[in-house]
Amino acid sequence: MIADPILRVEALSASIDGQQVVEKVDFEVPATGVTAVLGRNGVGKTSTLKAVLGLISRSGVVEFDGVRIDGERTHRVVQRGIGYVPEDREVFASLTVAENLRLAARGGAPHRDMVDELFPDLVARTAQRAGSLSGGQQQMLSLARVLMNDNRLLLVDEPTKGLAPRIVTEVAAALERAAAVTPVLLVEQNLPVVRRLAHTVVVIEGGRVIHAGPAAELLDDDERTQQLLGVHSTDHSAPRGDTDHSAPRGDTDHSAPRGADNTREETS
Partner 1 sequence: MSTVLLLLITGLGLGALYFLVASGLSLIYGLMGVLNFAHGSFLTLGAFLGWEVARRMEDGSWLTFGVSILVGAVVGATVATLTELLLIRPLYLRHIEQVLVTVGLSLATVALFEGIWGVDPIYVVGPEWLNDTTDIAGALIPNDRFVLIAAALIVLLGLVVFLKRTRYGLIIRAGVENRAMVTALGVDVRRAFTLVFAIGGAAAGIGGVLASHYFGYVSPLIGGSLLIFAFIVTVIGGLGSLTGAAIASVVVAVLQQFANFYLGGTGDFMVVALLAVVLLVKPTGLLGSKA
Ligand X SMILES: Nc1ncnc2c1ncn2[C@@H]1O[C@H](COP(=O)(O)OP(=O)(O)OP(=O)(O)O)[C@@H](O)[C@H]1O
Q: Which does 92 bind (CB under 5 to 8 A by kind): ligand X, Mg ion, partner 1, none?
A: partner 1
Does 252 engage in binding with ligand X (CB under 6 A)?
Answer: no
Binding mask 23-52 for ligand X (x = CB under 6 A): ----------------x-xxxxxxx-----
Question: What number of H helices and E strands is found in the chain?
Answer: 11, 10
Binding mask 61-100 for ligand X (x = CB under 6 A): --------------------------x-------------
The percent of the chain in helix, strand and coil, each rounded to the nearest 5, is 35, 25, 40
In angstroms, give the least distance from the CB of 184 to Mg ion.
Answer: 16
DSSP class per residue in 189-206: --HHHHHHHEEEEEEEET
Question: Given candidates 46, 100, 243, 252, which one binds Mg ion under the rule CB under 5 A?
Answer: 46
Q: Which does 79 bind (CB under 5 to 8 A by kind): ligand X, Mg ion, partner 1, none?
A: partner 1
What whole-number distance in Å separates Cα of residue 227 and Cα of residue 222?
8
In this structure, are strands 57-64 and 67-68 parallel, antiparallel, or unpaired? antiparallel
Binding mask 152-191 for Mg ion (x = CB under 5 A): ----------------------------------------
Range list of β-strands (E), the chain: 7-16, 19-29, 34-38, 57-64, 67-68, 82-85, 153-157, 184-187, 198-205, 208-214
Which parts of this chain interact with ligand X (CB under 6 A)? 16-17, 19, 21, 39, 41-47, 87
